Amino acid sequence: MCGIVGYLGSGSAVPVLVSELRSLEYRGYDSAGLAVIEDGNLRILKAAGKLSNLEHILKEQAPIATVGIGHTRWATHGEPTDRNAHPHTDEAKVVAVVHNGIIENYRELKDELLKKDYKFGSDTDTEVVAHLVSYYYKQNKDMLNAVRQAVSRLQGIYALAILSPAYPDRIFAVNHHYSLTVGLGENESFLASDGLAVRPYTNQLLRLEQSEIVELSSSGYKLYSFEGKEVKRSPITSEGSLYIIDKGGYKHFLLKEINEQPTVLRQTLAKYLPDTHKPVNLKKENKGLVNGLHTAGITLTKEQIKNIDRIQIVACGTALYSGMVGKYIIEALAQIPTEVEIASEIRGRKLLVNERTLTIAVSQSGETADTLAAIKEAKEAGSHTLGITNRPDSHLAHITTDLITTECGIEVSVASTKTYIAQLASFYLLGIYLAEEKGLLSPQKSAELKHQLHLIPTWQEKILSSSEDIRQAALKYSSAKDVVFMGRGFNYPTALEGALKLKELTYIHASGYAAGELKHGPIAVLDENVPVVTILVPGVVYEKTLSNALESKARQAKMIAVAVEDDKNVDSIFDTIMRIPTVDEFLSPLLTVIPLQLFAYFTAEALGKDVDQPRNLAKSVTVE
Ligand code: AGP
């Protein structure tokens, strides 16, 4: 995904644009650029790489301007180079465009424009939009109409901001199934892909709905449908607290967010589980929009729950792995058959869901295109839908019938950590709620489970206090070229998540397996150069997992364990042991992942990797 920003007012545009881009760097950082109107002309400054590269250019040649648009890029079409960096313009520099999303029919449009002798300077789909708007503007000298005619030709999901020296006091922006927020200040207006970027300047926010065009001026805005009909809608006053993007003394956001997990878990439990002796009551106080944000909770009635004959969970990446744990939780507590689907694998398939299916979409950002597409299909097929997200102002929050919002604050680091723990907590709470409503959980068992949940944050803190031991362990294996992670049952997803963390933070190839699967082929990769990380927790799969570890050891693999503190069996088998407090297998995923997060972090730090913004990644992938 990319980040779009804009400013228009009496102040200097460049500092505001840069500050807004800084807030959106999590959306992609392959290049950054901005377009301003200076002395009546369009001025474009852009650079491949991080925002700091653009800032370096701006130090040398800061334009004087009071209106501009900006962009931070995650490359989809065209390599991350200067020439492909946004903004893009037409040849005559009548129009500058920044773009988020994909223009699916850009090749057809590009061919049409090439036949009209238009010249292209980049490999991007975005540049097509600049030429198309310019083409229509030449015909009717009305920018709003030109924008409307151009977007009527576009296919795909996208958001755009457009600037023209012909309209030095206007910014035109388009939202088509994406996200764009307008901020309205005193004689100044702001624009950003994410409201958190404009919130430091104003709390008067207007979120563009699907297929809308806004004409921004310093005195306000006009909203239009794609058909050209004016839309009347007032901004909302955002009560959301200002999120100060600050490392809080930690070297990296990632380390800060790993250490925030006990607090995040306490906050999520406190919100949904205020008192261990009261039933988990996730019913909403008031469903619907409050200050533009969905209140959180579930409206599934006892009858509806009784009528659910299966659950389907759809997600990507780390969210997918939390959903896999969620499957084990829900089946164990509520005895509802639950499947987990990779959201991108649902595309093009007929979803066999109906009104007796509960489809749960898990997404930290609430903007992941694959996940949104999957949940929309499920909803169209009649399924009841539930979202679990960290962003109550996201698309996902607007689409699903019910919503559990996690209480993590903004997760800045691209690699998900604290939101994973909060997603797990949401599944434990949901599982308890469903089981209670189905009469499958006695008050005594329910109270005991809730009490155990409330103890977890303290146990997490105990693990975090042994971070130095884990750092020492990580340093021993930082030269590995391939690492295997394995676990069974509740900790099979933990193995997958541990492998993903190591891959995305260190670029070391790592694979996660169900421990029982290793002997069916993957064990062939093992030798003295391959560390094997085994997650061992006392419970029904402990013995078999230990056997799988011994099979690996017999192939000379370097043996690393995540094991409970009073497990003595592991001492003679493993070269390295990362200890966690003794915990019931059922709740262990809330603990076993933490040593693996720290293992990946310290390895990446030792290797000098870009911990908070790993190469090729973006915080949320809003393209399919
Ligand atoms: C996890 O560390 C990655 N950042 C990635 O796998 C992420 O979990 C995935 O892209 C899903 O994002 P979402 O939770 O915002 O939908």
Which DSSP string corresponds to 324-377? HHHHHHHHHHH---EEEEEGGGSTTSPP---TTEEEEEEESSS--HHHHHHHHH
Q: Are residues 435 and 551 in the same domain?
A: no
Token digits of residue 65: 């301007």
Q: Encode pLDDT of 312-328 as tens digits.
A: 999 999 999 999 999 99
Write down which residue in 416, 441, 461 finishes a domain. 461
Assess if residue 456 is contained within a domain. yes
Based on the fold, state whether residues 427 and 279 are members of the same structural domain. yes
Instruction: State the distance from the centre of ligand 1 to the C-alpha of 244, rounded, in angstroms.
Output: 22
The residues, ordered by sequence, that sit 6+ positions from 468 with a Cβ below 8 Å of its Cβ are none
From the CA of 621, give the closest atom in ligand 1.
Answer: 10
Residue nearest to atom 6 of ligand 1 (CA): 317
Pull the structure tokens for residue 86: 């946004």
* 3-state SS string for 30-84: CEEEEEEEECCEEEEEEEECCHHHHHHHHHHCCCCCCEEEEEEECCCCCCCCCCC
* Dihedral of the alpha carbons of 78, 83, 84, 90, in degrees to the nearest 10: -120
**Is residue 276 domain-shared with residue 392, that is, in the same domain?**
yes
- Per the structure, the count of domains in the chain is 3
Spatial contact of 47 and 54, defined as CB atoms under 8 Å apart: yes
pLDDT tens per residue across span 266-302: 988 877 776 544 444 444 443 332 222 223 467 788 8
Number of Cβ atoms within 10 Å of the Cβ of 380: 10
**Ligand 1 centroid to residue 321 C-alpha, Å:** 10
State the CATH number of the domain containing residue 130: 3.60.20.10
Using only the alpha carbons of the chain, give its radius of gyration. 26
Q: Which two tokens stand for residue 339?
A: 């499947």
Are residue 124 and residue 155 in the same domain, yes or no?
yes
Q: pLDDT tens across 325-383, in order?
A: 999 999 999 999 999 999 999 888 888 899 999 999 999 999 898 999 999 999 999 99
Q: Is 587 in the pocket of ligand 1 (CB under 6 A)?
A: no
Q: Please choose from 74, 372, 507, 620 the residue to mutate so as to test ligand 1's pocket, defined by most ligand atoms within 8 A of CB.
A: 620
Q: What is the pLDDT of residue 76?
A: 76
Assign residue 398 the CATH number of its domain: 3.40.50.10490
Backbone dihedral angles phi then psi of residue 494, each to the nearest 5 degrees: -60, -40
Residue nearest to atom 2 of ligand 1 (CA): 415
Phi, then psi, of 587 in degrees rounded to 5: -100, -5
Residue 398's closest CA among 354, 361, 358, 431? Answer: 361
One domain, residues 60 and 120: yes
Q: Which atom, in ligand 1's list, is nearest to the CA of 504?
A: 2
* 45 belongs to a structural domain: yes
pLDDT score, position 242 = 65
| Cα–ligand 1 centroid distance for 358 (angstroms) | 22
Q: Are 562 and 485 in contact (CB under 8 A)?
A: no
Q: Using the CB atoms, write b or e for 189-219: b if 16+ within 10 Å.
A: bbbbbbbbbbbbbbbbbbbbeeebbbbbbbe
- CA 276, 280, 285, 291 torsion-angle sign: positive
Ligand 1 centroid from CA 16, angstroms: 28
pLDDT reported for residue 472: 97
| Residue from 341, 621, 623, 624 to probe ligand 1 pocket by mutation (most atoms less than 8 Å from CB) | 621
**Same domain as 148, residue 72:** yes
Tell me which residue has its CA closest to atom 12 in ligand 1.
Answer: 620
User: Is 316 near ligand 1, meaning CB less than 6 Å away?
Assistant: yes
Please name which of 501, 506, 494, 499 lies closest in space to residue 483, comparing C-alpha atoms: 499
Q: Are residues 409 and 546 in the same domain?
A: no
Nearest to 383 by CA among 412, 415, 424, 354: 354
Burial of 161 (C-beta count, 10 Å sphere; 0-12/13-18/19+): buried
Residue 56 lies in a domain: yes
CA angle 552, 527, 469 (to 5 degrees): 70
Rounded to whole angstroms, how far apart are CA atoms 51 and 53? Answer: 5
What is the torsion angle, in degrees rounded to the nearest 10, for the CA atoms of residue 411, residue 415, residue 417 and residue 422?
Answer: 60
Residues 558-586: tens digit of each pLDDT: 999 999 999 999 999 999 999 999 999 99
Q: How far apart are CA 192 and CA 202, in angstroms?
A: 12
Check: CB of residue 150 under 8 Å from CB of residue 165: no
| Residue 335 domain-assigned (yes or no) | yes
Q: Cα–Cα–Cα angle for 89, 60, 185, nearest 5°?
A: 65
21 found inside a domain: yes
Atom of ligand 1 nearest to the CA of 620: 15
| Same domain as 300, residue 400 | yes
Q: For residue 243, what pLDDT is reported?
A: 64
Q: Is the CB of 622 under 6 A from ligand 1?
A: no
Is the CB of 319 inside a 6 Å radius of any atom of ligand 1?
Answer: yes
Domain stops at, among 202, 237, 272: 237
Kindly state if the Cβ of 504 falls inside 6 Å of ligand 1.
Answer: yes
**Strands across the sheet containing 576-580:** 509-514, 482-487, 531-536, 558-564, 576-580
In contact, 18 and 55? CB cutoff 8 Å: yes
Q: Is the Cβ atom of 84 under 6 angstroms away from ligand 1?
A: no
Angstrom distances, CA of residue 188 to CA of 166, 208, 240: 19, 18, 21
* Ligand 1 center from residue 512 Cα (angstroms): 17
Query: Rounded distance, CA 109 to CA 92, Å?
Result: 19
* CA 552–ligand 1 middle distance (angstroms): 30
DSSP state of 297: B
Which DSSP letter does residue 242 get?
Answer: P
Examine the fold and report which residue of 431, 461, 491 is the final residue of a domain before the chain moves on. 461
179 and 154 in one domain?
yes
**Residue 218 has what pLDDT?**
84
Say yes or no: 279 and 329 in one domain. Answer: yes
Q: Is residue 242 part of a domain?
A: no
Cβ–ligand 1 contact at 333 (below 6 Å): no
Query: What CA–CA distance (Å, rounded) separates 485 from 473?
Result: 15
Q: How much is the pLDDT for 280?
A: 43
**CB-ligand 1 contact for 317 (6 Å cutoff):** yes
Shared domain for 437 and 470, answered yes or no, is no
Q: Which atom of ligand 1 is nearest to the CA of 414?
A: 4
pLDDT given for residue 383 in this prediction: 95
Residue in 2, 46, 408, 418 annotated catalytic: 2
Tell me the best of 27, 313, 316, 372 to mutate to test the pocket of ligand 1, counting ligand atoms within 8 Å of each CB and taking the most: 316
**Which positions ≥6 away from 365 have C-beta within 8 Å?**
389, 390, 391, 394, 619, 620, 622
Please tell me if the CB atom of residue 394 comes closer than 6 angstroms to any atom of ligand 1: no
pLDDT value at residue 174: 98
Q: Do residue 511 and residue 403 come from a single domain? A: no
Residue 247: inside a domain, yes or no? no
- Beta-carbon contacts of 462 under 8 Å, excluding residues fewer than 6 positions away, are 580, 581
Residue 501 alpha carbon, nearest atom of ligand 1: 2
Q: What pLDDT does 241 receive?
A: 64
Helix (H) or strand (E) holding 590: helix 589-606
Strand 558-564 vs strand 576-580: parallel, antiparallel, or unpaired? parallel
- Identify whether 624 is part of a domain: no
Structure confidence by residue, pLDDT tens digits, 239-271: 766 666 778 889 999 999 999 999 999 988 877
Among protein residues, the one with the nearest Cα to ligand 1's atom 7 is 317
Where the chain has pLDDT below 70, the residues are 240-244, 274-297, 622
Name the 3-class secondary structure at 188. Answer: coil
**Structural domain boundaries enclosing 125:** 3-237
CA 255 to ligand 1 center in whole angstroms = 17
For residue 503, how far is its CA from the centre of ligand 1 (angstroms)?
13
**Could you tell me if 170 and 130 are in contact, meaning their C-beta atoms sit under 8 angstroms apart?**
no
Nearest CA to ligand 1 atom 5: 317
* pLDDT, position 443: 84
Selected catalytic residue, list 46, 327, 558, 619: 619
| Centre of ligand 1 from the C-alpha of residue 543, in Å | 33
387 neighbors 402 (Cβ within 8 angstroms) = yes
Question: Known catalytic residue: 2?
Answer: yes
Give catalytic status of residue 251 as yes or no.
no
Q: How far is ligand 1, taken at its centre, from the CA of residue 611, in Å?
A: 15
For residue 617, which atom of ligand 1 is closest to its CA?
4
CB 620 near ligand 1, within 6 Å:
yes
Q: In which residue are the tokens 């903007």 written? A: 367
Which secondary structure element, helix H or strand E, spans residue 385, and what is its range? strand 384-389
Mean pLDDT score of the chain: 91
CA 388 to each of CA 385, 426, 457, 587: distance values in angstroms, whole numbers, following the listed order: 10, 7, 20, 19
